[in-house]
Amino acid sequence: MGSAFRNRKANCPRANDTYEHTYIRNNPLVPTKLSNSPLFVHYGSDRFTEILVQENVVDLAGRHSTVFFIATDQGRIFKVVKNAAKAEARHVSSTKAVEASSPIISLTSHVERRPNQQTARSLLILTTTQVKFCTGKSLDNV
């Protein structure tokens, strides 16, 4: 009796699909499937309010990685780095960017191209009460 109801979804013929369903199934928006496991888990009272992602960042060893700046409602910024070769991400640092009473509303990255082929990266932090601009070494510590 149980075998009669097993695999009922497999019994549905594809001929009942509309053209739109067939097109969506054959042409996904994202070419690779996304993992359902989290990249970063934080245990604490902070709530994430904003995330800034910088892809294809090359470190001093020549490795490519993705850097996440995650802002919280208590004024902290977490820097999380995901190596391109590995599935998991590492929490690199956390910094108290502003006082706890002002949650971070927005994070923005600014890259300035200099004449000597170098770039200067800055992080603009917006709260309800202030605007903070982190540049150079202070950005590396964030």
Sequence ranges of the domains in the chain:
52-141
Instruction: Please tell me whether the overall predicted TM-score, pTM, comes out greater than 0.85 for this model.
Output: no
- Digitized pLDDT (tens) for each residue of the chain, 142 residues in all: 455 555 555 555 555 667 788 888 888 887 777 777 778 888 888 888 899 998 888 888 888 889 999 988 888 889 999 887 777 788 888 888 777 777 888 888 887 788 887 777 788 888 878 787 776 544 554 4
What does the H/E/C string look like for the chain? CHHHHCCCHHHCCHHHCCHHHHHHHHCCCCCCCCCCCCCCCCCCCCCEEEEEEEEEEECCCCCEEEEEEEEECCCEEEEEEEECCCCCEEEEEEEECCCCCCCEEEEEEEEEECCCCCEEEEEEEEECCCEEEEECHHHHHC
